[in-house]
Chain A
Amino acid sequence: DQQVKQNSPSLSVQEGRISILNCDYTNSMFDYFLWYKKYPAEGPTFLISISSIKDKNEDGRFTVFLNKSAKHLSLHIVPSQPGDSAVYFCAARHAGGTSYGKLTFGQGTILTVHP
């Protein structure tokens, strides 16, 4: 039962252009959605989050959009830089019950930004 899905295993973009990473979910009991970036041999690093009651959150070059009706969120990186090359994970936080606080992750998308 894959509750959070990232259907694109990889994405390649040119430096300076926009990177768009997508994520779909099936469970309506999530209260926050988060994006993490992961380099090899390191743990995931928190990037940006969005509450389930919002539709957009922006932090510098990173913007996350949430479409609740479609159960879809996306991370936009503008402009993309070579240092952004990493694996990006979408995660959803469970809102309550015995699963409160649990994060469910997608499979990840490998982003490569070419100079």
Chain B
Amino acid sequence: ETGVTQSPTHLIKTRGQQVTLRCSSQSGHNTVSWYQQALGQGPQFIFQYYREEENGRGNFPPRFSGLQFPNYSSELNVNALELDDSALYLCASSLTGSNYGYTFGSGTRLTVV
């Protein structure tokens, strides 16, 4: 059973650029969520995808967007990067209806300069 894998592990971008982060869900999981974790804070919910559709969104602007593919992998896209977007981005997968914990990837560390 493979876990959640994220790529890349680290990334440096310039303010104003666009970035795409990728996530492969754990085998058998059909729901994927993305979280942003700033330094010294807990993860903050960005959005969630189920059956390739967004079915929940946190308090993030529209320049944060995502996709879920038929194989349940996912992408997080951020346009017009700002310095405050520097954070650890975590992907989590789960099986809808399960009461077990979500499985998180190791994250992508994004630095915007």
Give A contacts to B, CB under 8 Å.
4, 6, 32, 34, 36, 41-47, 49, 51, 89, 91, 98-108
Closest residue of B by beta carbon distance from A31: B99
Knowing A101-B96, A103-B33, the reply to whether A42 touches B106 (Cβ < 8 A) is: yes
B68 within 8 A of A: no
Do A102 and B42 have beta carbons less than 8 Å apart? Answer: no
Do B106 and A103 have beta carbons less than 8 Å apart? Answer: no
Count residues on chain B whose CB falls below 8 Å from chain A CBs.
28
Do B42 and A99 have beta carbons less than 8 Å apart? Answer: no
B56 within 8 A of A: yes
Which of B57, B96, B104 is within 8 Å of A43, CB to CB?
B104
CB distance from A54 to the nearest CB of B (A): 11
Residues of A within 8 Å of B43, CB to CB, are 44, 89, 103, 105
B62 within 8 A of A: no
Do B101 and A43 have beta carbons less than 8 Å apart? Answer: no
With A49-B100, A105-B43 given, name 16 new contacts (CB 8 A): A43-B4, A43-B92, A43-B105, A43-B106, A43-B107, A44-B104, A47-B101, A89-B43, A98-B55, A101-B31, A101-B55, A103-B45, A104-B45, A107-B40, A107-B41, A108-B41
Residues of B within 8 Å of A106, CB to CB, are 42
Interface code B2-46, partner A: CB below 8 Å = 1, 0 otherwise?
001000000000000000000000000001010100001111110
